[in-house]
Amino acid sequence: MTTRTTSQSSAAAPLLDLQALVVAVRRRRRLWCAMALLGLLVGAAVAVLLPTPPTAVTKVLVAHKEDQPNDPGTLIRTDVALLGTTRIAGEALKSLKSPEKPADFLRDYQGTGLTNNLLQIDVTGHSDAEAVARAKALAEAFVADHVRRMWEAAKTEAKALDDQRDRLRDELAQVNKAIGDRAPGSDPKDSASLESRFARRAELTSRIADFDQRAEEARTGTPQVIAGTQIVDAPRALPRSLAKAALTHAAVGLVLGLVLGLALAAVGVVVADRPVLRRDIAANLGASVIAELPRRSGRPWQRRRIRTARERLVVSLARTVRGSAEPVSLLELGCARSTSALALDLAGSLAPDGPVVVVDGLPGPQLAGRRRKPGGPSVVGGEPAAAGSHDERRFGVGSVAPGTAWTDLQYLGTRTVLVVRAGHGNAAWLHTVARQLADQQIAVLGVVLIDPDPRDRTDGTLWDGLQTALRGRSERPARQNGGGTSHAVQAVGEGRPRAQLQPMCAARVPDNDQEAR
């Protein structure tokens, strides 16, 4: 039943969990906030260190003979492309008497088509006066080139029309001559041929008149196009403001840095595969989340609520330790300091019952390096843990981080509570921890989640299978030699109904104003 349900849930799991992705990216807000701040600073620095050069702008009205109301902007784009040629750049430099190369001058200006007939030219220079002079020379060179091209096109078209008219006139002269050479009183059979010549003469006369009119229109239309092409906005220098430029560059850098930071955070989350939701952590560890604690003390108005929830968790853990015939341990993953503080609070809660000894199995000096306070619990290492009085109450504190000596965890306790920081271990390592604890026959009572997401609304309780409800038993049957963990779980399932497994008291403390439970 459990295997079937797990397979179904695994098959129904989405390829990319958007909720987990959003939560994980939000938890990495330091990264994308730092990237956004870096982009803002870089943008402001660029505006200060690389100020905008002096720029002049002018606008030219460009008339085209082929202008149409439905023109999609092809003609003005052609004018922009012609503006960026070395011919026009060279003419402008020639009028300025500048030794600069036209190819180098092309990098200092650009054209923009505002409408189908309005062209804007932006030119930079070493000073405002130089930029204005360059813009004027460039606009005049473009207008002169455009007028020359229009004249040449009109002359070519008119000449072609005149040549066609002259050819038709020669043909008309031949037709007239053929009609005039016909002798009076000739054969009546030639009347049909005479009529065709008259018809041909009429056609040639009409076509000659048409070509005359088209040639005249070609010559008449060109002055209108030439007169319509002119500078409508005199070159002027654009005002420069360092504060405005810095603000603009900073805003652009902020947006780019934020986008880059979010992208890096999202890619890092997907690649790292670090579960942050209670649902995912419980599923990967195979144990339910019994309590949540923030990583830090929180804001001033939250500290009382956090302290109350912490005390409830300590009381619940103390009740579990007192009711267990087997040693209990706290095993941390990514939160050694929080686990050490929780262990000391637990020892203080157990102190009224008698001497308490904390077996320190942490790799660092979180517990062993502390100075013992008068009346406080004793902290011993893993080696002297075997020796001691039977009247002492012992519980161990260890780690399941990479590099853990798994066989030593049994000496800390055969029943454990995992203290895990959300988003610290990846899914593969959480699976490794669950598998290694099962191999060592260490029962997991539950998971205390450190630094949870305050907006996490997922359920961190596992309901499938009695083996996931180990936290609900105050005691488990004695081990059988060679029985293994599966026999112990089977004995629990046969001995007590699932409905009788009562969960351990849990405390849930989010970082927001949600009520602690």
Q: Based on the domain organization, do 151 and 286 belong to the same domain?
A: no
Comparison of pLDDT for 199 and 478, the residue scoring more: 199
Instruction: Give me the pLDDT at residue 308, please.
Output: 82
Average pLDDT, integer, range 162-182: 77
Q: Based on the domain organization, do 44 and 59 belong to the same domain?
A: no
Q: Based on the domain organization, do 320 and 332 belong to the same domain?
A: yes
Looking at the domain assignment, is residue 4 inside a domain? no
pLDDT bin (cut points 50, 70, 90) of residue 502 is very low
Instruction: Give me the pLDDT at residue 64, please.
Output: 84
Instruction: Give me the pLDDT at residue 500, please.
Output: 36
Comparison of pLDDT for 487 and 323, the residue scoring more: 323
Residues 429-441 have pLDDT tens digits of 999 999 999 998 8
How far apart are alpha carbons 478 and 469 in whole angstroms?
17
Instruction: Give me the pLDDT at residue 94, please.
Output: 92
Q: Based on the domain organization, do 402 and 321 belong to the same domain?
A: yes
SS3 289: strand
Average pLDDT, integer, range 485-513: 38
Sort 103 into a burial class: Cβ within 10 Å, 0-12 / 13-18 / 19+. Answer: exposed
Least confident of 32-41, 460-469, 483-492: 483-492
pLDDT bin (cut points 50, 70, 90) of residue 331 is very high
Residues 106-127 have pLDDT tens digits of 999 999 999 988 999 999 999 9
Q: Based on the domain organization, do 46 and 88 belong to the same domain?
A: no
Instruction: Give me the pLDDT at residue 490, please.
Output: 34
pLDDT bin (cut points 50, 70, 90) of residue 147 is confident
Comparison of pLDDT for 56 and 222, the residue scoring more: 56
Q: Which of 153, 145, 71 is nearest to 111 (CA)?
A: 145
Q: Based on the domain organization, do 37 and 82 belong to the same domain?
A: no
Looking at the domain assignment, is residue 19 inside a domain? no
Instruction: Give me the pLDDT at residue 471, please.
Output: 43
Percent of residues, the chain, with pLDDT higher than 70: 78
Looking at the domain assignment, is residue 75 inside a domain? yes
Looking at the domain assignment, is residue 12 inside a domain? no
pLDDT bin (cut points 50, 70, 90) of residue 13 is low
Would you say 409 and 437 are in contact if contact means Cβ atoms under 8 Å apart? Answer: yes
CATH of the domain at 418: 3.40.50
Q: Based on the domain organization, do 313 and 442 belong to the same domain?
A: yes
Q: Based on the domain organization, do 302 and 230 belong to the same domain?
A: no
SS3 357: strand
Least confident of 38-42, 95-99, 152-156: 152-156
Tell me which amino acid residue 500 is: Q
Containing 237, the helix (H) or strand (E) segment is: strand 230-237
Looking at the domain assignment, is residue 333 inside a domain? yes
Average pLDDT, integer, range 342-354: 85
pLDDT bin (cut points 50, 70, 90) of residue 460 is confident
Average pLDDT, integer, range 33-39: 94
From 228, 254, 270, give the residue that closes a domain: 270
Comparison of pLDDT for 70 and 415, the residue scoring more: 415
Would you say 139 and 58 are in contact if contact means Cβ atoms under 8 Å apart? Answer: yes
N- to C-terminal Cα separation, the chain: 32
Looking at the domain assignment, is residue 338 inside a domain? yes
Looking at the domain assignment, is residue 311 inside a domain? yes
Would you say 139 and 235 are in contact if contact means Cβ atoms under 8 Å apart? Answer: yes
Least confident of 309-313, 329-333, 437-441: 309-313
- Per-residue tokens: 18: 């958007």
- Per-residue tokens: 282: 């419980």
Instruction: Give me the pLDDT at residue 382, please.
Output: 59
Comparison of pLDDT for 267 and 379, the residue scoring more: 267
Q: Based on the domain organization, do 233 and 261 belong to the same domain?
A: no
Instruction: Give me the pLDDT at residue 347, please.
Output: 86
Average pLDDT, integer, range 79-98: 92
Containing 285, the helix (H) or strand (E) segment is: helix 278-285
pLDDT bin (cut points 50, 70, 90) of residue 206 is confident
Q: Based on the domain organization, do 279 and 229 belong to the same domain?
A: no
3-state SS record for 366-430: CCCCCCCCCCCCEEECCHHHCCCCCCCEEEEEEECCCCCCHHHHHHHCCEEEEEEECCCCCHHHH
Q: Based on the domain organization, do 445 and 408 belong to the same domain?
A: yes
Range of the domain at 42: 30-50+243-270
Residue 81 has pLDDT above 70, yes or no: yes
Instruction: Give me the pLDDT at residue 12, please.
Output: 53
Q: Based on the domain organization, do 285 and 374 belong to the same domain?
A: yes
Residue 366 has pLDDT above 80, yes or no: no
Residue 312 has pLDDT above 60, yes or no: yes
Instruction: Give me the pLDDT at residue 458, please.
Output: 81
Instruction: Give me the pLDDT at residue 105, please.
Output: 93
Q: Which of 382, 399, 392, 289 is nearest to 338 (CA)?
A: 399
Looking at the domain assignment, is residue 20 inside a domain? no
Instruction: Give me the pLDDT at residue 14, please.
Output: 63
Domain count within the chain: 3
SS3 24: helix
How far apart are alpha carbons 150 and 275 in whole angstroms?
71
